[in-house]
Amino acid sequence: MSQPVQELSFERGLPSNVYAERMVLGSILLNDNAFVTAAAGLAPEDFSLDKHRRIFQRMLDIHNREERIDRVTLANELLRHGELEAVDGLTYLSSLDEGLPELYNLESYVQIVRDKSLMRRLIFTAQETIHKAMLGEDEPDRILAQTEDALLKLGEARAKDSLMSAQQVFDLEDGGVNAFLDPARRVHGIGTGFIKFDEMTGGLRGGELVIIAARPAMGKTALALNIALHVATNKKNPKAVAVFSLEMSKQSLLTRLICSLARVDQQRFRSGYLDREERARLGMAAADIYDAPIYIDDTSSTTMMDINAKLRKLRAQTNLGLVVVDYLQLMPTPNLGRNSNRVQEVGALSRGMKLLSKDLDVPFMVLSQLSRAPEQRVGDHRPQLADLRESGSIEQDADMVAFIFRPEVYQKDREDLRGVAELLLAKQRNGPTGKIPLVFLHNYTKFENPADAFEEEPPN
């Protein structure tokens, strides 16, 4: 029988490696140029012993003054702050680098110290959660949200990439610089099925956060499902799609998908008044979707931690190509403290989405609501970046922001505008912005390319 976790924690104590901490501090005293390497991966609080935290903090103070770090300057700095005795005096400082050879693998020791620090923080977060749960003073959802936010922050700190030289980046490419410059070998994004959009963006790429925003009933969900269906049923290169719907049920989403693919009026489908041809088309569409790698989660209380866990499991089982979240403002927000507001909380969600998309190397298409500003604007009702509802850092975090605009919504008396739609690419980090014409088919709740878009074959 395995030993209880509580007994193991009492016997072993908190995770630490005092020897590695001493090696890091001693290396700095031996050669203060090593401080830059250590400080790139560590902060004073990453050391397990209080005296080591004090020593590293005073080293940081000396370094910030652009002075040399050695036994004398360090001892003087500790003495000036009344901390020399707290670190066991000059004798302990001398022992740190006494007989120590210059380390050429200092980064390994820094990583050990950092890993142990992360383990301790995980333990503290778990203990805090247990304490709050035992007291029972907060609602379970609030405790879960606070824990989720704390864990996401730990993951964000862990996910920081190290700096790489240009040479290292080139060497990662099989074939070196020549392969890196070969257009035929450059990474192409995933096609959306909308020709002009794919031409302007190169498709959706792993690690990108794509925001699709619009006022209610403009067709956000319809557009996202059209793209999801194209990705999952692409005959040349099908990829799995995960759809997190916080508003619609699985059954409603599947109904939309099937009717859209079969080009059958949803109202006729629901009422049951279908002719033989429509039933045949629905049967073929259902068979295609049955085999398509589309995974739907309609849990209304889905959190960032839920999405993280479910996607990691799905990615291990499939070739995950796209994640759709419908929609951002419906997600439970992390608790950021008493002084936080809705803008900061939604901003924390968008930042979490961006970090997760980078970590999983999968594009995230996140739907978002707009404020009432487009409706109140006189003349041109086209959305602008400032119209993003509770925007916070949404605009900043997003690699792309696109707005759906259908002029017929504002000019209902003009029959010539029926079905006219635009996708306004308002932001793109690595490409142009502009207007993309589309056609909206009301009966099928479906967007399509206009007839004149088929001059060139769209990307896969």
Output DSSP code: residue 212: E
| Residue 205 in tokens | 């790429």
Question: Closest by alpha carbon to 230, among 176, 270, 189, 268?
Answer: 189
Output DSSP code: residue 370: B
Q: Is 255 exposed, middle or buried (0-12, 13-18, 19+ CB in 10 A)?
A: middle
Q: Which of 247, 278, 395, 408 is catalytic?
A: 247
Q: Is 28 exposed, middle or buried (0-12, 13-18, 19+ CB in 10 A)?
A: buried
Question: Closest by alpha carbon to 382, among 328, 436, 446, 449?
Answer: 436
H/E stretch holding 422: strand 420-428
- In degrees and rounded to multiples of 5, residue 308 shows phi and psi of -55, -50
**Cis previous bond, 290, omega within 30:** no
Check if the beta carbon of residue 348 is closer than 8 Å to that of residue 337: no
All residues at 6 or more sequence positions from 85 whose CB lies less than 8 Å from its CB, including other chains: none
User: Using CA atoms in the order 193, 400, 353, 438, what is the torsion angle rounded to 10 degrees?
Assistant: -40
Distance CA 358, CA 351 (A): 11
Bridge partners of 366?
211, 325
Residues composing the chain: 460
Question: Closest by alpha carbon to 297, among 308, 285, 287, 310?
Answer: 310
For residue 247, indicate whether it is catalytic.
yes
The CA–CA distances, whole Å, from 67 to 33, 64, 77, 78 equal 11, 8, 11, 15
SS3 call for 197: helix
| Residue 247 in tokens | 């508003």
Active site residues: 247
